[in-house]
Amino acid sequence: MAKTRKEILLEQERFELKHKSGGGLLSYEVWGYIENGSTVVTRYNLAYINHEIYQGDNGRVLGFDNAHGYHHRHYMGQIDAVEFLSYEATLERFQLEWQEIVKATRGKKP
């Protein structure tokens, strides 16, 4: 009989960005389990929140998650399915995209 894996919270962090760094909040929540020394991610929610850039969707400017049974990207209220290669690739894409958003909006008034 297969052993049931217990899903645990692997990471839950929030970082408040200073205004000179673009402002807003970065939120990371990752669930999964450890098997044979390797981390297996089962659920994730990555978000860049900044009410000065976007007021809808509780200020979520950009987000990636796999809720509702599929991997998707949130961008200023629009939701699109995304191809999932790995959690690490999704995290890297999230990091690059929120930094590009900050570069493009820095110093601009909403």
Q: Does the residue 23 lie in any domain?
A: yes
Structure tokens, 5: 């894996």
What is the sign, positive or negative, of the torsion defined by CA atoms of 66, 71, 74, 77? negative
- Band (pLDDT 50/70/90 cuts) for residue 106 is confident
Residues 6+ apart with CB under 8 A from 106: 22
pLDDT at 25: 96
Q: Which helix (H) or strand (E) holds 3?
A: none
- What domain range includes position 99? 8-105
- Report the chain's mean pLDDT, rounded to a whole number: 92
66 pLDDT tier (thresholds 50, 70, 90): very high
Do the domain assignments include residue 3? Answer: no
Question: What is the tally of structural domains in the chain?
Answer: 1
Q: Is residue 13 part of a domain?
A: yes
Domain presence at residue 29: yes
Whether 35 is in a domain gets the answer: yes
Query: Within a domain: residue 110?
Result: no
pTM comes to 0.89
Indicate if the pLDDT at residue 30 is higher than 70: yes
pLDDT tens-digit map of 78-96: 999 999 999 999 999 999 9
3-state helix, strand, coil in the chain (%, to 5): 25, 40, 35
